[in-house]
Amino acid sequence: RSLCAKAPREFTQHARNPERSVVIGGNNQVFAPIYGAPFVRDLEGGRRYGNMADFEKLVKLTYMHPNLHHGSFVVCEPTDVPVSKRHLDMLFAHMTLSDKPHLGAITEKSRAQDSVDMAEIVFGAERLDRETCIMANVNTNSPLLVDKVVTEAIQVYCGRGQAIVVTPFILTGAMGPVSTTASVAQAVAEAMICCAFAQLIRPGAPFVMGNFLSSMSLKSGAPTFGMPEPVLSNYIIGQLARRLGLPLRCGGSLTASKIEDAQSAYESADSMHSTVLAGSNFTLHAAGWLEGGLATGFEKLVMDADRLGAYQKLVGQGHVDDEDALARDAYAEVAPGGHFLGSAHTMRNYQTAFYEPRLSDSENVESWEEGGSLDMRARAHARWTEMLNQYEAPPIDPALRDALADHVARRKSDLPDAWY
């Protein structure tokens, strides 16, 4: 625990655009989309293996959505690119199609090193010496095993002064006992030993304590999401992370549903609501998660992201009790039995009084029918296609883009095509 105390309670991950930099830890909450899905799904194309074109679209959508603060990394697997080389294309896409912060590769030590090297091209060696410019997420091999993927990622990222998220991935009943209490204790132990190792590599290295604890069907062995046990684990791990003084990653908009249906909605909502109230500082899988994480849903991405705005207002604004909130002038103006629609107080505040979701339909049924009787999936499909049509790449120095492209080309020429 004394080693864990050397890690900062909060830190800034700097973005290529300084206005997009994020603070991780403290009272801050940062939302990032899904990570790691081999499949994608959309209303027109159905379910299919992800490719580089899908990956680039998802990076663009994440860049454009104001409720997503961070780019994640593997927003889908670009399966048309060899495994040995795809991390380079993914990094290049994040660094050029977006100017938000993002994660780096971890699956093999040289891929982690490529991530740090490309971050150094963007930010410069001196900034990497003193600031967090890239971060990575890695999972322990639960139960109670920290393999070389974890230790090498910590060595590469923390050794360069960059940040690491270590997340025990525990399905209770498989990688942990059928006990929420025991599985949370196991997750804390696994995360703490990795934090201690990170501080031995470089005292003061930024470290995020992760927790991905989910229940499972003991009939089929399939993971289940949005259930009371993982919801409870989010609240417990939030308290423990604050006690240790470590930034927290947990939860997300998680569901086992294959499409954006009622199951997807209630599982994702229960999971994400507890994530926010637990005080997760960095939330992966905040948008786009389908099928237990096997698929990235284009419609799901914008549906979830739309809802994230409501959570941000809930915890960001909270309860206000200043003079304007008490609205004494409104009561003085409006007679008993009257209405407040035209009052001066309403006119002052109507633009910001309530959260206005982009996708929800609350109009009368006649208006809905005149608009084509579109359900949420259809509205979400129209939303993300509209966003892509409006996409404009963020500005980037041509010399920087060329330097990144040269690095990618050189490294690709050094690597064989390998599909594992």
Are the beta carbons of 218 and 173 closer than 8 angstroms?
Answer: yes
The 3-state DSSP class for residue 166 equals: strand
User: What average pLDDT does this structure show over 108-136?
Assistant: 98
User: What average pLDDT does this structure show over 358-374?
Assistant: 96
pLDDT surpassing 90 at residue 319: no
Are the beta carbons of 244 and 4 closer than 8 angstroms?
Answer: yes
Q: In the structure encoding, which two tokens stand for residue 213, read together?
A: 């604890």
Cα dihedral across residues 399, 405, 406, 407: positive or negative: positive
pLDDT surpassing 90 at residue 420: no
Are the beta carbons of 20 and 101 closer than 8 angstroms?
Answer: yes
Q: pLDDT for 330-355, tens place per residue?
A: 999 999 999 999 999 999 999 999 99
Any idea what the Cα angle at residue 368 is, between residues 364 and 370, rounded to 5°?
A: 120
pLDDT-derived band at 359 (thresholds 50, 70, 90) equals very high
- Superfamily classification of domain 4-317: Trimethylamine methyltransferase-like (3.20.20.480)
**Would you state the pLDDT for residue 230?**
95
Dist CA 41 CA 36 (whole Å): 14
Q: For residue 103, which of 78, 75, 73, 132 has the smallest C-alpha distance?
A: 73
H runs (alpha helix) in 171-219: 180-201
Are the beta carbons of 194 and 211 closer than 8 angstroms?
Answer: no
The 3-state DSSP class for residue 8 equals: coil
Q: In the structure encoding, which two tokens stand for residue 34, read together?
A: 């899904």
- Where do the structural domains in the chain lie, given as residue ranges? 4-317, 323-390
pLDDT surpassing 90 at residue 200: yes
Longest dimension (CA), the chain: 79
pLDDT surpassing 90 at residue 88: yes
Dist CA 213 CA 225 (whole Å): 9
Q: For residue 195, which of 230, 244, 229, 149 has the smallest C-alpha distance?
A: 244
pLDDT surpassing 90 at residue 317: no
Are the beta carbons of 226 and 274 closer than 8 angstroms?
Answer: no
Contacts of 113 (CB under 8 A, 6+ apart): 156
Q: In the structure encoding, which two tokens stand for residue 81, read together?
A: 């690119």
Give me the count of residues in the chain.
420
Are the beta carbons of 223 and 214 closer than 8 angstroms?
Answer: yes
Dist CA 113 CA 136 (whole Å): 11
Instruction: Give the rounded percent of residues in the chain with a pLDDT score beyond 70.
Output: 100
**Would you state the pLDDT for residue 318?**
82
**Amino acid identity at 185:** A
**Stated pTM of the model:** 0.96
Q: For residue 153, which of 116, 187, 200, 128 has the smallest C-alpha distance?
A: 116
User: What average pLDDT does this structure show over 69-95?
Assistant: 99
Dist CA 120 CA 104 (whole Å): 12
Dist CA 24 CA 6 (whole Å): 16
Dist CA 73 CA 93 (whole Å): 10
Are the beta carbons of 163 and 153 closer than 8 angstroms?
Answer: no
**Would you state the pLDDT for residue 70?**
99
Are the beta carbons of 289 and 268 closer than 8 angstroms?
Answer: yes
End-to-end CA distance of the chain: 37
Q: Which residue has the higher pLDDT, 317 or 187?
A: 187
Between the alpha carbon of residue 246 and those of residues 10, 12, 22, 278, 327, the distances in Å are: 8, 14, 16, 14, 40
**Amino acid identity at 199:** Q
Any idea what the Cα angle at residue 56 is, between residues 53 and 61, rounded to 5°?
A: 125
**Would you state the pLDDT for residue 413?**
98
Instruction: Give the rounded percent of residues in the chain with a pLDDT score beyond 90.
Output: 98
Dist CA 367 CA 144 (whole Å): 57
DSSP state of 206: -
**Would you state the pLDDT for residue 320?**
87
Average pLDDT of the chain, as a whole number: 97
Dist CA 231 CA 214 (whole Å): 9
Between the alpha carbon of residue 198 and those of residues 244, 310, 320, the distances in Å are: 15, 35, 41
pLDDT surpassing 90 at residue 109: yes
